[in-house]
Amino acid sequence: CLLAALAAGAGVLRAVVNLGERRRAFVSAVTHELRTPLTTFRLYSEMLADGMIADEPKRQEYFQKLRDESLRLSHLVENVLAYSRLSGPRRGPARQRIALGELVHRGCDALADLAARAGMELAVEPAADAAAMVVEADVAAVEQILVNLVDNACKYAHSAEDKSIRIAISREGRWAVIRVCDAGPGVPPDQRRRLFRDFSRSAADAAGNSPGVGLGLAISRRLARQMGGDLRLEKTT
């Protein structure tokens, strides 16, 4: 009994320590990600409010930057809220029956706008035998997954010669498959194992590369699995 009690105590202690580490990682990552857009908001809004920017094209550039940063903050908030929901008590997804083609096209305008702001072009490639395939899915969850995947493509493939982001729809047996493809450099082999882990990017990583807290792919995989599907990385040569 004593050994069992010690083992149980050690398990509880380990869980508490892990929870504390996850909370610290969460606070650190989100705080770092908020710092840049909030600083931009403060500086640009002060300059515009004080009339320091008289040149109209420059003013429009500043307004566009503020708009982009507000969208970035909205995307971050949506991911944080989704992470909070997925970390809490489990609830079944709000599924509905919908044609696969319609499911993908519902969010295409927003996705195309997201790609355009990064200087990229979105293309949807529906297969004839798949577009009419009826699936049961949480429409909002699928839209969030696609936003996260397209946003990642915008971050990491924007410097590629090929500026296209392709969403390909296909049917593989009884499965409906949605692929998001880009011409970016890909994921290094040593990072593939932790690609879908929470906070897979540290604050130092985010500071040196594209912005992000390392939640998008982790949330997207959880949402996909909650619907009975999956999210995977396909390695290409």
Taking the chain (237 residues) in runs of 10, the rounded mean pLDDT of each run is 54 50 60 72 82 83 82 77 68 78 88 89 84 87 91 87 91 89 85 76 46 74 90 78
* pLDDT score for 132: 83
Cα separation values, 38 from 32, 65, 69, Å: 10, 12, 8
Instruction: At 124, give phi and psi (nearest 5°).
Output: -105, 130
* pLDDT score for 123: 92
Are 107 and 151 contacting, i.e. CB atoms less than 8 angstroms apart? no
* pLDDT score for 231: 93
The amino acid that residue 195 corresponds to is L
Q: Which residue has the tokens 């083992």?
A: 7
* Close Cβ partners of 193 (under 8 Å, ≥ 6 residues apart): none
* pLDDT score for 197: 78
Q: Which two tokens stand for residue 201?
A: 């990017």
Q: Which residue has the tokens 């090929």?
A: 162
Instruction: At 197, give phi and psi (nearest 5°).
Output: -85, 150
* pLDDT score for 26: 59
